[in-house]
Structure 1
Amino acid sequence: MPMLQIALWLCQYWPVRQDRTLPILPEECKQMNVEGAVHEMSDTVAREMQWHRNRHGWTRKQLAERCQELGADWLTFAAITSIETGRLDENGRRRRGVTVDELAVIARALLVPPVVLLFPVRNETDVTWSPAEKAHPWYAIRWFSGEGRQPVKPKGGGEYDPATGLYEWYEEEPKDNHEQLDLLRNHERLTRAWVESEQRAINAHRFAELAQSPESRQARLIEADGEDLYRAQVIERDLINVRRAIRRLGITPPTNEELDQLDRKGTNQ
């Protein structure tokens, strides 16, 4: 077995400390973790957090204070400085990456979505979205948020045709499982449509009360009845089905008093 595979196997199956916190890694694994580490995405986050910090006119100390106000007491001035500079080693490589916890609170303090720090859209250059993989920021954002596929070009094989620039065959594109997110997005869309339909019906009734003629009043009442019918027979039906599908995946759908009533209505159907 090649040494690399042996080292990876040991990293996976090496005994765990008695306190059950971190595995005891052999020296080969520790060396691989340090020497093989690439922090391109951390470099991007550090560069963007500095840019947004300067946009606010804040010092590193002020950003640290804002992070601490949000509960991240470990993000001191020294920690912010370490993240932004990377504490480069003698080879010019970043010693310190950015953790998920730090990304979330720093983005919150800077008043930007975390994904904007990871994949900045303020320029047109491709960004690193996975080790050795680059793509336009928007494609990276769509993948990261579960809205799009992995932004990779299918690898071709077989005979290459220089006239068309195409290979004989291509590998199948990786397909991520978006089912949970797709259902929740559909739920949000239907909930918004449900509320908007109800508001249109309410407005139609109000206009009917203010109508100057019987014909105008009748037209508004017909409009309100149409909205009520559409909401009951189409939107509510679809929303009930989506909420059932979400629960079948073991997920609790968003809820409030109106949605609870809709669930009870769906149970009686």
Structure 2
Amino acid sequence: MTHRDIDDEEDDFPEWVDRIKANVAGEVRRRRKEMGWSAQELAEQCEQLGHPIPRNVIANMESGRRASLPLVDVMVLAAALATYPVCLIFPVGYVEETQELPFQQLVPTWDALRRFTGEEEVSLNDAGLVSAFEIHASLVKTALAALDEEEQARFAAKTATSRAQQEEAERKRTTYGDQAISAKYNLRQLRRGLREDGATPPHLPASLADVDQADSNTTEENDL
């Protein structure tokens, strides 16, 4: 490798760092002005969130004079500006192209954001338990909706003014009841699998507490 090649590689890395910092700085400035805030007002908002970022630090960041940009600052700035950290790092619609990593070519900012959040899968990348948690959220939504519909059908059956209305309401109650049972069963299996993998399942709404209770009862019976 020639001396020139080494110099080129050394120059590429800071360029990527500077580009990401410029993305964040530009979006912080844009959001701040959009909200009608001064740098001091943004600093005060950050302090209220429990992580002070002085006005001069914000001003230096926006002007490109700040040498570093800690992740914790990006998180708090995003919260203060009522947005998401990824929207500061990859400002879709305001920065057309960006770099995802050092030495890589420029790519559309939208593509970079989707890979950063995992919306677009990357070959060989491990998404951890994200997909399992997404399935869990979908099952919870299905179970809650079925329980609500079941309750409405039960009320309709009680208040029906004709036999036909009562039979239709009972049919719906049974259908939604079966949907709730199926969703709860799948939730129970999923949560059991997460625990076996050493993970902590997501929080359950109070109306679905019986999902874990049933699993706990089964475990106790097996221990006897």
Place the TM-score, normalised by the shorter chain, in its bin.
0.7 to 0.9
Tell me the residue number matched to 2:114: 142
The 5 A counterparts of 1:21-32 are none
Q: Which secondary structure does the structure 1 equivalent of 2:106 belong to?
A: strand
What is the rounded CA distance, in whole Å, between the counterparts of 2:141 and 2:27 in structure 1? 34
Give the counterpart of 2:203 among 247, 251, 255: 255
The 5 A counterparts of 1:49-198 are 49-73=28-52, 75-87=53-65, 95-123=66-94, 125-131=96-102, 132-150=104-122, 174-198=123-147
What is the rounded CA distance, in whole Å, between the counterparts of 2:158 and 2:109 in structure 1? 52
What is the rounded CA distance, in whole Å, between the counterparts of 1:84 and 1:252 in structure 2? 40
Tell me the residue number matched to 2:3: none
Tell me the residue number matched to 2:162: 213
What is the rounded CA distance, in whole Å, between the counterparts of 1:180 and 1:36 in structure 2? 31
Cα gap change, 1:35 to 1:227, in 2 (>3 Å): closer
Tell me the residue number matched to 1:23: none
Shift of 1:251: 1.5
Shift of 1:222: 1.1
Name the Cα RMSD after superposition.
Answer: 2.4
Q: Which secondary structure does the structure 1 equivalent of 2:24 belong to?
A: helix
Shift of 1:243: 0.9
Is 2:158–2:166's contact at 8 Å kept on the other side of the alignment?
Answer: yes
Q: Deviations over 1:182-204 (max 9, x none)?
A: 11111111111111111111111
Scaled by the length of structure 1, the TM-score of the pair is 0.70
Tell me the residue number matched to 1:41: 20
What is the rounded CA distance, in whole Å, between the counterparts of 1:115 and 1:230 in structure 2? 37
Query: More helix per residue: 1 or 2?
Result: 2
Shift of 1:47: 0.3
Is 2:151–2:173's contact at 8 Å kept on the other side of the alignment?
Answer: yes
Query: More strand per residue: 1 or 2?
Result: 1
Q: Deviations over 1:53-89 (max 9, x none)?
A: 010011111101100111112x0001111211121xx
How many residues matched? 207
Is 2:23–2:95's contact at 8 Å kept on the other side of the alignment?
Answer: no
The 5 A counterparts of 1:233-252 are 234-252=182-200
Q: Deviations over 1:137-165 (max 9, x none)?
A: 33222222223224xxxxxxxxxxxxxxx
Shift of 1:249: 2.8
Scaled by the length of structure 2, the TM-score of the pair is 0.83
Q: Deviations over 1:24-59 (max 9, x none)?
A: xxxxxxxx7x99433211110100010000100111
- Identical positions, percent: 25
Cα gap change, 1:259 to 1:39, in 2 (>3 Å): farther
- Structure 1 gap segments, 5+ residues each: 1-31, 88-94, 151-173
